[in-house]
Amino acid sequence: MQSMTGECQRKARVGIAGLLAVVAAGLSVRASDEPKLTAKQSANSVTIFAGEQPVASYVFADEKIARPFYAHVFTSDGIAVTRNHPPKQGEPADHADMHPGIWLAFGDLSGHDFWRNKGRVKHKGFLVEPKAEERGVSFAVRNEYSVALKDGETKIASEICRHTWRLQDGNLLLTLDSEFAPAEAAQPLVFGDQEEMGLGVRMATPLRVKDAGGEIRTSNGQRNEKEAWGKQASWCDYSGTIGSRKVGVTLMPHLGNFRTSWFHVRDYGLMVANPFGQNAFTRGEKSRVEVKPGEKLRLRFGVWIHSGTAQSNEEIETAYKFYIKSADK
């Protein structure tokens, strides 16, 4: 009986070892099958790829839109999450030159409107050229904010923005890390108080709440425009169903920003994370954020682009924590 038991144990050990080898091989295959992120630069844009699938185009020079922006944003498995740019026939075409996809803009920057393309944000070059790394794609740009006045063009601000793309469990994370400074040594840079300030996303038409069955959620449990508009939160998610896939975008302001963001969200497909609109959202004291010469204002945001089954609040919280951890490295 003892010899039979020993033989059984030996066979069991062999069987377990074989099973572990199969599992390890399967994991290795799945890991190798996960697409790699790469970037391709052209004369006026940088396109990000997950494998052969283009997932976003960072446009830094455009005839109609006077600031850099992301357009044609997709999930890693090829589902559009931002509105077509330009909008296609039959879909809403409102604010086409202000809501191209994903953008960072300000309706009141030292009294000038860069949200509605009345001021120009010029791409002044790459501080770090687009490159693929083990964990994703990154690049850094320098932007110059200027306005045309009667006596000529006046520089308002300078910005250095670092862009990073990562792939995590099949979902995409875009991080934006910007530092703003006054352009002139003698004049401060002042961020005013409006709804249209901060990081914006215009969702794909099939994902919006209005007429399409999409849903807006915040970290505090508010749902859709009626509850979520003008509320402060750690994150805001805008999701819907396309075919059999539940897809969406989560905006995640960094907790190290100078103030928690309010969310300017609309059922027609707009989502903006705005830390400046104190009066615009609460009717309280008007906000005035001044950056003095020699100082800088840092703003950081994460954009989680997810696809698959419905994301629970717990899963979004996990993505938020992953963003905070990765942004601080």
Residue 329 has a pLDDT of 72
Distance CA 246, CA 251 (A): 17
Q: What is the mean pLDDT of the chain?
A: 91
* Structure tokens belonging to residue 128: 């770090």
Residue 323 has a pLDDT of 97
Kindly report whether the peptide bond that precedes residue 86 is cis, defined as omega within 30 degrees of 0: yes
Residue 7 has a pLDDT of 45
Percent of the chain at pLDDT above 70?
A: 90
Q: What is the pLDDT of residues 77-136, one digit of tens each?
A: 999 999 999 999 999 999 999 999 999 999 999 999 999 999 999 999 999 999 999 889
Distance CA 238, CA 56 (A): 18
CB 109 within 8 A of CB 157: yes
**pLDDT at 19 > cutoff 60:** no
Confidence of residue 62 (pLDDT cuts 50, 70, 90): very high
**pLDDT at 289 > cutoff 70:** yes
**pLDDT at 18 > cutoff 90:** no
Residue 185 has a pLDDT of 81
Kindly state whether residues 210 and 314 are assigned to the same domain: yes
Residue 191 has a pLDDT of 98
195 φ/ψ angles, rounded to the nearest 5 degrees: -65, -35
Confidence of residue 12 (pLDDT cuts 50, 70, 90): very low
Kindly state whether residues 13 and 106 are assigned to the same domain: no
Kindly state whether residues 28 and 176 are assigned to the same domain: no
Kindly state whether residues 98 and 14 are assigned to the same domain: no
Confidence of residue 22 (pLDDT cuts 50, 70, 90): very low
Question: In the chain, what's the furthest Cα-to-Cα distance?
Answer: 102
Distance CA 137, CA 37 (A): 6
Confidence of residue 11 (pLDDT cuts 50, 70, 90): very low
Distance CA 220, CA 29 (A): 39
Distance CA 144, CA 156 (A): 8
Which among 58, 71, 74, 125 is positioned nearest to 98, based on CA atoms? 71
Q: How many domains does the chain have?
A: 2
- What CATH code is carried by the domain that includes residue 250? 2.70.98
Kindly state whether residues 1 and 145 are assigned to the same domain: no
Range in 10-14, 47-51, 202-206 with the lowest mean pLDDT: 10-14
* Structure tokens belonging to residue 214: 């999409």
Confidence of residue 30 (pLDDT cuts 50, 70, 90): very low
Name residue, tokens 């498995």: 77
Residue 186 has a pLDDT of 86
Kindly state whether residues 46 and 23 are assigned to the same domain: no
Distance CA 194, CA 184 (A): 24
Kindly state whether residues 100 and 210 are assigned to the same domain: yes
Give the length of the chain: 329
Residue-number span of the structural domain to which 19 is assigned: 1-33
**pLDDT at 56 > cutoff 70:** yes
Residue 184 has a pLDDT of 85
Name residue, tokens 């709804």: 195
Distance CA 16, CA 41 (A): 49
Kindly state whether residues 112 and 7 are assigned to the same domain: no
Residue 8 has a pLDDT of 41
Distance CA 234, CA 301 (A): 11
Kindly state whether residues 163 and 290 are assigned to the same domain: yes
Residue 159 has a pLDDT of 98
Distance CA 162, CA 137 (A): 11
Report, as an integer, the average pLDDT of 255-274: 98
Of residues 297 and 29, which shows the higher confidence score?
297
CB 279 within 8 A of CB 287: yes
Kindly state whether residues 282 and 135 are assigned to the same domain: yes
Q: What is the pLDDT of residues 158-179, one digit of tens each?
A: 999 999 999 999 999 999 999 9
Residue 15 has a pLDDT of 44
Kindly state whether residues 215 and 82 are assigned to the same domain: yes
153-161 contacts, C-beta under 8 A, 24 or more apart: 155/183, 155/184, 156/109, 156/110, 156/112, 156/119, 156/182, 156/183, 156/189, 157/109, 157/110, 157/181, 157/182, 157/183, 157/189, 158/182, 158/183, 159/121, 160/127, 161/104
Kindly state whether residues 50 and 22 are assigned to the same domain: no
